[in-house]
């Protein structure tokens, strides 16, 4: 294992997905990384498997955040080594100045980890409070984010705003999707991400019915291409279609 002090937006997103944290827009991640005071990452076999970073005022206060070790690498001392490296970076910084307060809001069940890394926990003196702010133009009260992988062709037709119906089987996972939710599509060929808002769900018994209700360009075909509901059998068998039904998720590209 080695420690490095920089990372890409893609590595950041991968680690967040690995521990089930929410996905941010790439441009926001780029900005966060650029404006971090300190970053530390653990690398195993050329892969970044853990991270932590500090945001702050470059003078007196900093917040430790995004402390993550990929689940399959946890409990091997990697998290502690990352925090040790962050500590070394802060100590070197403070030795040129006066003093620095590093704060954090640990998620449930992790206080012991931070105590083992040398943090003080004195709830009798100091308790943590926080407030989330969300873009009210994007998020409704109970809006959820969903991740979906796509091949390049459908990904690019959504990006061009020609395709606005994403077709899936209506299984347990997809029945969680509601209008106003956000779908983050990931291009499985190059990792590019795109945010879309769910406008409406169109539910049918099978793809034959679905295809009768939309024009082929909305579904992702080119004008000069033949559209055939059997194309969906490459992804979902007839049996699955009749077991769950299918859904056309009407979407609108955000940004």
Ligand X SMILES: CC(C)(COP(=O)(O)OP(=O)(O)OC[C@H]1O[C@@H](n2cnc3c(N)ncnc32)[C@H](O)[C@@H]1OP(=O)(O)O)[C@@H](O)C(=O)NCCC(=O)NCCS
Residue ranges that bind ligand X, judged by CB under 6 A? 19, 67-69, 74-80, 106-107, 109-110, 112-113, 116
Give the nearer residue to ligand X in terms of CB position, either 84 or 206: 84
Shortest gap between Cβ of 140 and ligand X (angstroms)?
27
Q: How far is the CB of 17 from ligand X (least distance, A)?
A: 12
CB 86 → ligand X: shortest distance, Å? 12
Of residues 78, 6, 3, 80, the one with CA closest to residue 38 = 6
In this structure, are residues 80 and 116 in contact, taking their beta carbons and an 8 Å threshold? yes
Residue 61 or 121 having the CB closest to ligand X: 121
Closer to ligand X by Cβ: residue 29 or 68: 68
Strand-pair category, 145-150 with 182-187: parallel
Tokens of 206: 């099978």
The residue (of 68 and 194) whose beta carbon lies closer to ligand X is: 68
Nearer to ligand X, 86 or 194 (CB): 86
CB of 220 to ligand X, least distance (A): 36
Closest residue by beta carbon to ligand X: 79
* Pairwise CA distance, residues 88 & 203, whole Å: 56
Q: Output the smallest distance, CB 100 to ligand X, in A.
A: 19
Secondary structure (3-state) at 37 = coil
Q: Where are the alpha helices (DSSP H) in the chain?
A: 9-18, 26-34, 78-94, 111-116, 152-159, 207-213, 216-219, 238-244
């Amino acid at each position: 294992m080695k420690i490095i002090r920089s990372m890409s937006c893609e590595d950041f997103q991968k680690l967040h997905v690995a521990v089930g944290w929410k996905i941010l827009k790439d441009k926001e991640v780029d900005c966060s990384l650029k404006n971090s005071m300190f970053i530390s990452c653990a690398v195993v076999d050329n892969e970044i498997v853990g991270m932590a970073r500090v945001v702050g005022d470059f003078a007196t206060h900093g917040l430790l955040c995004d402390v993550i070790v990929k689940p399959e690498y946890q409990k091997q001392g990697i998290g502690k080594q990352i925090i040790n490296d962050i500590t070394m970076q802060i100590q070197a910084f403070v030795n040129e100045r006066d003093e620095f307060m590093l704060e954090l809001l640990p998620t449930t069940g992790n206080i012991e980890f931070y105590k083992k890394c040398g943090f003080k926990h004195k709830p009798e003196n100091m308790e943590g409070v926080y407030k989330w702010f969300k873009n009210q133009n994007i998020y409704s009260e109970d809006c959820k984010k969903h991740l979906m992988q796509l091949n390049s062709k459908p990904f690019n037709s959504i990006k061009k705003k020609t395709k606005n119906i994403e077709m899936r089987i209506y299984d347990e996972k997809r029945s969680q999707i509601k209008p106003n939710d956000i779908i983050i599509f990931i291009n499985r060929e190059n990792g590019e991400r795109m945010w879309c808002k769910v406008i409406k769900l169109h539910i049918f018994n099978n793809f034959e019915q679905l295809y009768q209700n939309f024009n082929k360009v909305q579904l992702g075909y080119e004008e000069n291409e033949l559209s055939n509901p059997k194309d969906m059998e490459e992804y979902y068998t007839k049996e699955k279609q009749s077991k769950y039904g299918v859904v056309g998720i009407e979407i609108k590209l955000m940004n």
